[in-house]
Structure 1
Amino acid sequence: MQTVKIGLLGCGTVGSGVARLLTEKVNEYARRSGYRLELSKILVRDRDRSRPAGIDPDLFTTDPAEILEDEEIQIIVEVMGGIDPAREYLLQAIGSGKHVVTANKALIARHGQELFEAASENEVSLYIEASVAGGLPIIQTLKRSLVANQLLSLHGIINGTTNYILSAMTDEGREFQEVLAEAQAKGYAEADPTDDIEGYDAVYKLAILSSLVFEQPIQLKQIHRVGISRIASQDIAYAKQFGYVIKLLAIAKQENGHFQARVSPTMIPVDHPLASVNGVYNAILIKGDAAGDIMFYGQGAGSMPTASAVVSDIINIATELENPPNTLMASNHLGDPVNLGPPDSVVNRYYVRVLTEDKSGVLGQIGTLLGREDISVHTLLQRKADPGNAELVFITHPVSDQKLRQAIAQIRQLETTQEIYSIIRVEDFVE
């Protein structure tokens, strides 16, 4: 039986999971794949640091050259995270004719085109399943199982931290800061949670997925991003009253002849399958022109779910070593970036919550300003707030982003407007 040697860059949460699977299941993987997968070396910063039991300490090295320049190592697995030196190491590995597996979403989102071009030029494989949604086999499905389809849309809950926070706020009526502190205490959120709560993590993942949906590269700056830090318990309560739940939703789709990609808090109907995805779980809903709707659900992060995706990529590469690299994996990351539609091409319904002075004529003023932008109101509530003020909540009929922004700017300038608390997209999933 042929042995395939593997070099592992990083041994943190995910890396230790990969090492554990490759060590504990070596015979099982050999039986399934026909190849013996041998973990040859593991790059770490500190050899003396305590590591999970079961990993041979002789495998550890602090010298990347021991892995990158070892001619017997055929597959490099990068789970160290960050941009540099990970990018430098992978380009060196690819240039040396080594196949690569990475779980690094930020690296692929920022430099995927460069890495895939290098892999294509050097005729090696670059697999990225673990870079998006951990244990959900979404990349391989989009590239292989759905290759006969034109992908029409993708809607995803792809960040477990924000989903945990919004789920707790919905189920328990608690405020954002309180639930965030709990998520940090449980290890679901980082000490600096900015990447998660402001949507950057989801944008990285959506950039990768969007390149598959649009069949062209997409740049991070092209993706509209809004985080969840301004979502209040009042918004959650109003959403329930209107028959919705709020999720941080990643969307890539073609609409009115234009492409759009965005990550933002979104109200979705309570009876939609994505509405029942709670806690740290992820879900992705794909629509193909032939296959229709397909939904993936599972753990989007963590040591073993992500390690599972990494090892699956390793096995796939090992079984294809005698064949030319699979160009399907690279095709959507090469070429010119996709052209997204202009601002007025994106049409949605919107929920808006405004604090105004409680005076006669205020509602009429706001209605007039909305009317000037051809915005009609679907649902309206007005409630007493603190003394002398009222809270005005309304959901619009479909309107372009541009027209809504213009109307909101005018409402904000009214003397009676105290604060515009929230502007949240409403997604009804109507074809």
Structure 2
Amino acid sequence: MGGNSWPPESELDDLRKTVADIAGRTTKEVRVVVSPYRICPLGAHIDHQGGAVSAMTINKGILLAFVPSGNSEVVLHSAQFGGEVRFRVDESHHPKKAGNANEIRNGKGSTKLVEECFWGRYAKGAVYALKSKGNILNQGIIGLISGSSGLDSSGLSSSAAVGVAYLLALENANNISISPSENIEYDRLIENEYLGLSNGILDQSAILLSKQGCLTFMDCKTKDYKIVNPSNLKVNDTNGVSKSYKILLACSGLKHALTSDTGYNRRVAECQEAARMLLDAAGKHEVKAILSNVEEEVYEAHKDKLEPHLARRAEHYFSENMRVMKGVEAWASGRMEEFGKLITASGQSSIQNYECGCKPLIELYEVLLRAPGVLGARFSGAGFRGCCIALVNSDLASEAASFVKNEYSKLQPELVSNITQEAAVLICESGDGARVIIAS
């Protein structure tokens, strides 16, 4: 599928030159972490309940060019944000506290305090995660972090991609060998403990485990996973439709949620509340309240006891879990049209049962479903802002992208004005998972 064409060598060369200049090193000494964004075709909003999920990485994402600093200092620059982040790996970094601040130095050498919601917090979180598990860090890094140009990455797990990038860079600089499964846990510590987010492990798992052209399947309860290779993708099916595919990323233009509370953490709590009521109804009072601990027979027997909004959350969980299982089978046998229909059904359940999605995102989802060659579509990410994804027939990808741009701009001209023409709808391919590139 050509996923390994990213990042292009020219982009790597530019990053190496910039970091070499900042650090006073040669370009040969500069290493680059490639940490791709992920999409989740099936398994929306159920990873935090221990459900089954599917994911793949794409040929867009985070690049972190760095050199070991030679001491304990970390010095970071961002291609997207101003300022310079400085701290030491031998300092204590404590989880999320009100009023914490990073010291950011601007280009004129003056200092200002910026609240710890700023971009440097992920690097500090990586140090926290590594040290909390007993790893000894003697070496910092001097680096430049950059996201894929022009792309609104909300809904593509950009935060997990950033966390993974810092983990891999710090491990590489300190000659620490960490398995992908350990790094999944480390990035969970960054997100859940250090930053205080209530998300599951899907994002970092996909970023660390995925292989080009494959679907990553994970049971979030047991942490077991498998890489599923599709069969016969280039063979025409009975309708004469090519089974080769590309991925459309369609940006909504929404930079922020339309309400002050996106509801993400509230939805997680509602799933847990539904699980608690179902388990109590079955006499399982000591069992942890997550929906994967509720057997389907128990759900069917007691779901009428749930309040309507909790019943919808539980219905989404059980129906989505089943869609993932069916989707893995469809993918493995190359039945892309069936896989696409499951993606669309996932999107519908996210709207109706999980009740996420605002008007512009729902309109974008519906436009994608009408586009030529689109096999299936859904929101990407939490569904309160960001983008939608679609699986599309390779031969019709360009036509579909043009259709979506034109039709969505009629519905949301103001939001579309916030998007660069090139980034409005991107045609992407599957890519490999996170890795460190050493200059040859």
TM (normalized to structure 2)?
A: 0.25
Q: Which has the higher contact order (CA 8 A, sep 6+)?
A: 2
> Bigger radius of gyration, 1 or 2?
1
Instruction: Give the TM-score of the pair, scaled to structure 1.
Output: 0.25
Write 1 or 2 for the structure with the bigger share of strand.
1
